[in-house]
Amino acid sequence: MEYKTTKEYAKNLDRKDTLAKYRNQFHIPLQKNGEEYIYFCGNSLGLQPKKTKEYVDQEIIDWANLGVEGHLNAKNPWLPYHEFLSSGYANLLGAKASEVIAMNTLTVNLHLMMISFYNPTKEKFKIIIESDAFPSDIYAVESQIRLHNLDINKSLIKIKPREGETVIRIQDIENLIEKEGDKTTLILLGGVNYYTGQVFEMKKITEQAQKKNIKVGFDLAHAIGNIRLNLHKWGVDFAVWCSYKYLNSGPGSIGGAYIHEKHHSAHLPRLCGWWGHNKDDRFKMPKKFNPIQTAEGWQLSNPPILSLAAIRSSLSIFDEVSMEKLIVKSKNQSKYLRDLLKTINTERIEIITPEDSGCQTSIRVKYGNKLLYEKISEEGIIADWREPDVIRIAPVPLYNSYLDIYKFYKILHKLIK
Ligand SMILES: *Cc1c(COP(=O)(O)O)cnc(C)c1O
């Protein structure tokens, strides 16, 4: 173990890293003293790719020069602009291009999907969710239940880790599906839990749930651009995501939705808008809504092109590097981080993320208050703190080096000693 705790070892890992060159394609924020921050917050807001400016400028320029004509005559015409993102997204999600659509923001998409996929009846009306799901997801689900005039206490099942444990066992999810399946109509989980970093076994959960005629949706905010996804093959009914975390597409940039093709022409309830209408006669302004028979049919409005441009820039990097290579590096980086952390006093910190998860490692600070987090921040580390006692660290294979991880370890080690 000892040899790993040297700076030379970290530098050597960087020298051997074939993806190391991509760091230079991102803007790394600088401290007041001119040094780069150690940025471990890609799970919250990914860094800006340098070429994103070019992509956004192109649309700014075309807008200046062409005005409304840009819809058809821009270098990248705005009318079909969202279609330029479909294959990139499809690759990341393991979906068909027709199953994905860049639109709205995550929580909005979650609502739109629940309008289509949460159709409670007298017998089958419950939703299963993680007890520590991201609050927005809980608010969304509860408000959907209320929208159907149902009682949240009777309709929402929050699955928890066992007493004394921090992550949910797959066995417990399966048991719950077995026990509550007949009354449950929807299961909604994060692909990766935002707090613990736990990766859910999406394939298994989907299979189990669908045997009980339960619809399955995943919130992929922390999964897309992070772990391998195979939504189509797994038969997942729907998924939603945002593009500003691992996808590096800028603050508040628009998200997306995946809808399995088996639902495209089914007559599901949905909220409609003109951008979801059949492209052939959309501009004839017909009175009757006729949805596009792909995921595009769920669009409401014409999308923000500047945001799509930033996403397009980012997806071009993922296309070039490939998820497979990123995952290999991410696993190596996580393992390196864990090995280093194991040499630190375990009375003070505990890793709560299971091994072999994605980029994120959540570290519980024992008897902790926020002080340790504040101290590492003063030392130039950008991580984040989640109440009551967790520091989340996410080395991102596109722009974090092994040296970043080493420096973090040294600082933490010093502070805990
Ligand atoms: C980041 C995140 C969100 C954020 O939702 P927005 O609608 O994009 O503001 C929602 N859910 C989860 C699980 C997240 O991680």
What digits encode the pLDDT tens for the residues 204-245? 999 999 999 999 999 999 999 999 999 999 999 999 999 999
Closest ligand 1 atom number to CA of residue 245? 1
Residue-level pLDDT at 309: 98
Residue-level pLDDT at 416: 87
Distance separating alpha carbons of residues 344 and 414, to the nearest angstrom: 9
pLDDT (tens digit, 0 to 9) for every residue of the chain, 417 residues total?
567 899 999 999 999 999 999 999 999 999 999 999 999 999 999 999 999 999 999 999 999 999 999 999 999 999 999 999 999 999 999 999 999 999 999 999 999 999 999 999 999 999 999 999 999 999 999 999 999 999 999 999 999 999 999 999 999 999 999 999 999 999 999 999 999 999 999 999 999 999 999 999 999 999 999 999 999 999 999 999 999 999 999 999 999 999 999 999 999 999 999 999 999 998 888 899 999 999 999 999 999 999 999 999 999 999 999 999 999 999 999 999 999 999 987 788 999 999 999 999 999 998 767 889 999 999 999 999 998 999 999 999 999 999 999 999 999 999 987
Closest ligand 1 atom number to CA of residue 194? 15
**Both ends of the chain: CA-CA distance in Å?**
19
In this structure, the residue with its CA closest to atom 13 of ligand 1 is: 134
Q: Structural domain boundaries of the chain? A: 7-47+322-416, 56-320
Distance separating alpha carbons of residues 263 and 37, to the nearest angstrom: 46
Q: What is the DSSP string of 285-312?
A: --SS--B-SSGGGG--S---HHHHHHHH
Closest ligand 1 atom number to CA of residue 108? 7
Decide if 178 contacts 211 (C-beta within 8 A). Answer: no
Closest ligand 1 atom number to CA of residue 44? 1
Q: What percent of the chain has pLDDT over 90?
A: 93
Distance separating alpha carbons of residues 268 and 379, to the nearest angstrom: 53
The number of angstroms, rounded, from the C-alpha of 232 to the middle of its chain's C-alpha atoms is: 17
Q: Give the residue, out of 107, 220, 244, with the most ligand 1 atoms within 8 A of its beta carbon, to mutate for a pocket test.
A: 107
Which amino acid is it at 358?
G
| Residues having CB within 6 Å of any atom of ligand 1 | 105-107, 134, 136-137, 190, 194, 219, 221-222, 242, 255
Q: What is the 106 CA–ligand 1 centroid distance (Å)? A: 6
In this structure, the residue with its CA closest to atom 10 of ligand 1 is: 136
Q: Domain 7-47+322-416: which topology?
A: Aspartate Aminotransferase, domain 1 (3.90.1150)
What tens digit of pLDDT does each residue of 74-86 get? 999 999 999 999 9
In this structure, the residue with its CA closest to atom 11 of ligand 1 is: 134
Closest ligand 1 atom number to CA of residue 242? 8
**Which two structure tokens, joined as six digits, stand for 222?**
């922390």
pTM value?
A: 0.96
What tens digit of pLDDT does each residue of 333-381 get? 999 999 999 998 778 899 999 999 999 999 999 876 788 999 999 999 9
My answer on whether omega of the bond before 354 falls inside 30° of 0, hence cis, is no
Q: Which one of 3.50.50.60, 3.40.640.10, 3.40.50.12280, 2.60.120.580 gives the CATH number of domain 56-320?
A: 3.40.640.10
- Nearest one of 417, 416, 400 to 10, comparing CA atoms: 400
- Nearest one of 137, 84, 90, 117 to 258, comparing CA atoms: 90
Length of the chain: 417
Give Dmax over CA atoms of the chain in angstroms.
72
